[in-house]
């Protein structure tokens, strides 16, 4: 496998207008396990290990859409590789406490996609208790 090869899906994400209401629905009504929560969104882990995220944009903009974050071993190599193939990737690589992300415009069927490099999920999301909130993005 090359440093630019996609090795999996890190998370599927969806934009929301009202994070608290959306979080309550997916946690309380649908029974998803919450792994991270903030004022602007949350992430849930499904029984098969897949991740599902909700996010409200910083500028309060909203559009019907979704995204997917693909995992790669080396984000810098992946960005260079996919740009050379003509993929439109934002100039700035976003840094967060848990990963580095590069956002791309892709096929019309996908509103946005992202490539990321981060440690294994077990290192990022230890068992969460209400007494131990953590900041993320």
pLDDT in tens, 39-71: 889 999 888 888 888 988 888 877 776 777 888
Closest CA to 34 of 53, 17, 19, 18: 53
Helices then strands, each counted (H, E), the chain: 3, 9
| Selection from 71, 76, 113, 105 nearest residue 88 by Cα | 105
Q: Are 53 and 13 in contact (CB under 8 A)?
A: yes
- Helix boundaries (H) for the chain: 19-24, 75-84, 121-124
DSSP state letter for 130: T
- Is the entire prediction scored with pTM above 0.85? no
Q: pLDDT (tens digit, 9 = 90+) per residue, 78-118?
A: 888 888 988 888 888 888 766 788 887 765 444 445 556 65
For the domain 8-120, what is the CATH code?
A: 3.10.180.10
Does residue 133 have a pLDDT over 60?
A: no
């Amino acid at each position: 496998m090359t440093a630019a090869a996609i090795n999996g899906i890190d998370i599927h994400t969806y934009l929301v207008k009202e994070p608290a209401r959306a979080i309550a629905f997916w946690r309380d009504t649908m029974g998803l396990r919450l792994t991270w929560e903030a004022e602007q969104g949350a992430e849930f882990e499904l029984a098969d290990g897949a991740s599902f995220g909700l996010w409200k944009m910083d500028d309060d903009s909203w559009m019907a859409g979704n995204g997917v974050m693909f995992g790669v071993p080396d984000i810098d190599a992946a960005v260079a590789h996919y740009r050379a193939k003509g993929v439109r990737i934002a100039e700035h690589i976003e840094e967060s406490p848990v990963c580095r992300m590069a956002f791309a415009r892709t096929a019309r069927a996908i509103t946005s996609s992202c490539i990321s490099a981060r440690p294994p999920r077990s290192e990022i999301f230890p068992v969460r208790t209400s007494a131990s909130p953590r900041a993320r993005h």
